[in-house]
Amino acid sequence: MDSVDLEVLKSSVRWLDEGHRALLVTVVKTWGSSPRPEGAMLVVREDGLVVGSVSGGCIEDDLIDRVRREGIHIEKPDTVKYGITAEEAHRFGLPCGGTIQLVLEPLADASGIRALLDAVERGELVARTLDMASGQASLGPASATDGVFFDGTRLTTIHGPRYRMLVIGAGQLSRYLCQIAVGLDYQVTVCDPREEYTDTWDVPGTTLVRTMPDDTVLDMKLDDRCAVIALTHDPKLDDLALMEALKTHAFYVGALGSRRNNAARRERLKEFDLDDAQLSRMHGPVGIYIGSRTPPEIAVSILAEVTAAKNGVSLPTILQVEGAKAAREISAGAASDCHV
């Protein structure tokens, strides 16, 4: 879950312990464009203090105003929609045609928020099911592919660890990539056994380890909420990470390098008993084609591809580095033929 939503849970528990009334607000359905995804949360205290986000800000302002004027008077969960008309969409800052449905839940002991927070902080991935009629909530196991479910009588939301990213190499490109990845809310681990790089690593919000990459992959027990990006250009390090990462359920495994280098890498990895299905999961050359040249631009390119993979978006070949460069070469060749 996002760190923003984790703060919502922490604030909810703290306010309840302090004797405050609080209203938990969850995005359950969206139509058209929406600034926040299903499952996003905020909590409003009876005095209007708020933590979290369900929109670009205007819906939050309306909810705060309601609570300050009317208090938290509902006893059971309820629903509300914003942006049904074009006028409301404009008023609440929703994109054209956007509509958002929220569940408003007055928090109480039956909400089980403390148990949910405890489970999340233990690193568990759990499903919380809220009965709309009674306000009673229960916890159960969940998988990373589960999503928000709402049928008017029950609301199920998924809560658990943040997405993790393992970056092999602590060089200049890694600095820019990790800074952006932290901003995207990944839990970032950087692995590099080379002292000349690790001794100067100082990117806030990241964890640095000096173990060998293959050992690091095994120690992290990668799952389908993990991404691995090899950036050292050193086969002795990158290949060690890749040969283990491609055997895991990591949703993204990629390596920096030219088309020629990546072709050679695939041949080397075949010697480590990786089959064609496993090798086909490797992204390389890593990133999408945006004409990037500088380390910051390359970092943006890589994380754009990671984000697409995380969100289940299949990129067309023309956006991938290998496909785009091949198309440019064909186009350049055709133009040259025209001038012969």
Domains of the chain, by residue range, sit at: 3-159, 164-323
Bridge partners, residue 209, by sequence: 191
Token pair belonging to 245: 């990462």
How far apart (Å, rounded) are the C-alpha atoms in residues 170 and 199? 10
What pLDDT does residue 339 have?
Answer: 44
Phi, psi (5° rounding) for residue 120? Answer: -65, -45
Query: Angle between the 321-338 and 259-270 helix axes, to the nearest 10 degrees?
Result: 130
Q: What is the pLDDT of residue 282?
A: 93
Type and span of the H or E element at 106: strand 99-106
pLDDT of residue 37: 82
Q: Whole-angstrom Cα distance, residue 279 to residue 243?
A: 9
**What pLDDT shows up at residue 1?**
55
Residues in the chain: 340
Three-state SS letters, 108-176: CHHHCHHHHHHHHHCCCCEEEEEECCCCCEEEEECCCCCCCEECCCEEEEEECCCCEEEEECCCHHHHH
> Across the 340 residues of the chain, what is the mean pLDDT of every consecutive 10-residue run?
80 96 94 76 96 84 92 94 67 64 95 94 90 96 84 94 91 96 90 95 94 96 93 93 95 92 90 87 90 93 95 78 64 50
State both tokens at 43.
């909590």
Q: Side chain identity at 279, as an amino acid letter?
A: L
Residue 147 contacts residue 39 (beta carbons within 8 Å): yes
Q: Name 57's Cβ contacts closer than 8 Å, sequence gap at least 6.
A: 93
Compute CA distances 204 → 109, 189, 193, 197, 199, whole Å: 37, 11, 19, 16, 14
DSSP element (H, E) containing 240: helix 235-245
- So what CATH class is 164-323? alpha beta
